[in-house]
Amino acid sequence: MAAIAGIASPNAEEQVKTMLERMSHRGPEGSLIRSIGGVTMGVCWPQGQPEAGEQLRKSGRAEDVVNDSHYAWAETDGKTIKLSRDPLGVSPLYYGWNWDDRLCFSSEVKGLAGFVQQVHELPPGCILQENTLVRHSRLELQEPINAPQQEIAAELRKRLEQSVAKRARSVAVFGSWLSGGLDSSALAALARPYIDTMHTFAAGFEGAPDLEAARLVARHIQSTHHEIVPTFQEIIKLIPDVIHHLESFDALLVRSSLMNFLVAKVSSDYVPAVFSGEGGDELFAGYDYLKDLSLEDLPGELVDISSRLHNTALQRVDRCSAAHGTVAFVGFLDQSVVDYALSIPAEYKIANGLEKWILRQSVSDLLPDQIVWREKAKFWEGAGIEDRLAAYAEEQVTDKDFQNERQLPNGMLLNSKEELFYYRIFEEHFGRMEDIEWMGRTKGAPVQ
């Protein structure tokens, strides 16, 4: 995933260079900075995306475009800057004004640190122009489809196949992060016919259920499989790097990013791009608590949690892949799939107490039954982390410290000692930020 940065000021190459250097992990293959009239913009790009530099050179547009559904870009006429972000916020983009009231923008928060008075996240589906935010799209409730379940399953399958095919077609070497759950397994199986050499990657502690499930899928689709089996101490040592790249101290987000970060690091040694199964749980009702909702309330909740992905789970996917100069494709979040998924009746998403029922039906011929009907496990539980991180944090943070440090300068309350442990590391990297409204929090996180 590329990095873009800029400032509404002429001849500001040194400032933009510094911004890009802070995000050089996103674009190790090349970079370009241009001063266009009263605006200076730059881009750096990863392997396989040289068009990012060509676009800036030819048109004065800096962009991080993963595909037609997922993008963030900035363009200028030499006088003003126009920013835009995709409807789901798969590609990140932040902005702020410096002390001379010049607009600055960057793909990551660290690119703006020290350059702006306050960091803002460009909301998904929005354009910023002339200091005004305009929404160009949003997720909304859809009228339910009136069709038999077999017909709906077949149409969903067709759209998933199209999403995967346009990202993997004619690619000789490709990869997939593989937890062994339904979502990542389905994407890997759908992609396999288009790829000569398919690499899959799984991580977990010794004996973790995700590892065995991923092995089963890898054998089934005949991929070249890679396992990462760290010790707990290796995970602990990884936390500062993960928080630096993740730009968050949200406990559940950090917890789920640790194994993901390891998988991304190893996958970067073999492939330039991977599939990630993010979005399947939100679109098809994969979380346990959703079973307690009425069928009338379920569609609205799915729209809500899908709308929250941009600065939680999708931030994890982006930062983990970008930290190692690779691209992660989220095949479930192609706009065609999203639009259709939100119109599937709730009774086909949770049926007979089983989550993601229609998705299971649509891919049932692709995977072993043990995977198709496997119960949902949280990423960190399936990888074997479970409550070990919370127990470790309990040893690092006293009750008195938690009471005294729980409230942050902006009034935010930290949910747990684990979150305070992560916040202390976050503060070491980013300083005591007075305003962190740009940072997402996991909905429904437990409070200590």
Q: Where are the domains of the chain?
A: 3-135, 149-386, 390-430
Quick: pLDDT tens for 253-277: 999 999 999 999 999 999 999 999 9
Q: How confident is the model at residue 387 (pLDDT cuts 50, 70, 90)?
A: confident
Give me the percent of the chain exceeding a pLDDT of 70.
98
Q: How confident is the model at residue 187 (pLDDT cuts 50, 70, 90)?
A: very high
Q: In 3D, which of 71, 78, 74 has the Cα closest to residue 111?
A: 74
pTM, two decimal places: 0.95
Residues 6+ apart with CB under 8 A from 432: 409
Residue found under tokens 């390891």? 262
Per the CB < 8 A criterion, the answer to whether 67 and 90 are in contact is: no
Give me the percent of the chain exceeding a pLDDT of 90.
84
Across the range 74-88, mean pLDDT stands at 96
pLDDT reported for residue 384: 64
Across the range 154-179, mean pLDDT stands at 92
Per the CB < 8 A criterion, the answer to whether 258 and 235 are in contact is: yes
Q: Is the pLDDT of residue 385 over 90?
A: no
CATH T-level topology, domain 3-135: Glutamine Phosphoribosylpyrophosphate, subunit 1, domain 1 (3.60.20)
Per the CB < 8 A criterion, the answer to whether 120 and 437 are in contact is: yes
Distance (Å, whole) CA 134 – CA 309: 20
Helix H or strand E encompassing 74: strand 70-76
pLDDT reported for residue 377: 59
Q: How confident is the model at residue 432 (pLDDT cuts 50, 70, 90)?
A: confident
Quick: pLDDT tens for 143-152: 999 999 999 9
Walk across the sheet containing 273-276 and list its strands: 224-228, 195-203, 171-177, 273-276, 327-330
Q: Is the pLDDT of residue 170 over 80?
A: no
pLDDT, averaged across the chain: 94
Write out the DSSP string of 344-378. S-GGGTSBTTBTTHHHHHHTTTTS-HHHHTPPP--
Across the range 177-184, mean pLDDT stands at 95
Q: Is the pLDDT of residue 351 over 70?
A: yes
Assign 65 to helix, strand or coil: strand
Across the range 385-390, mean pLDDT stands at 82
Q: How confident is the model at residue 383 (pLDDT cuts 50, 70, 90)?
A: low
> Of the given ranges (65-74, 190-199, 279-288), which has the lowest mean pLDDT?
65-74
pLDDT reported for residue 374: 84
The CATH superfamily holding the domain 149-386 is HUPs (3.40.50.620)
Q: Is the pLDDT of residue 217 over 80?
A: yes
Quick: pLDDT tens for 109-131: 999 999 999 999 999 999 999 88
Kind of pairing between the strands at 273-276 and 327-330: parallel
Quick: pLDDT tens for 3-50: 999 999 999 999 999 999 999 999 999 999 999 999 999 999 987 777
pLDDT reported for residue 446: 79
Distance (Å, whole) CA 363 – CA 366: 5
Quick: pLDDT tens for 397-417: 999 999 999 999 888 999 999
pLDDT reported for residue 290: 96
Distance (Å, whole) CA 110 – CA 113: 5
Give helix 313-322 / helix 251-267 axis angle, nearest 10°. 30
Per the CB < 8 A criterion, the answer to whether 141 and 299 are in contact is: yes
Q: How confident is the model at residue 379 (pLDDT cuts 50, 70, 90)?
A: low
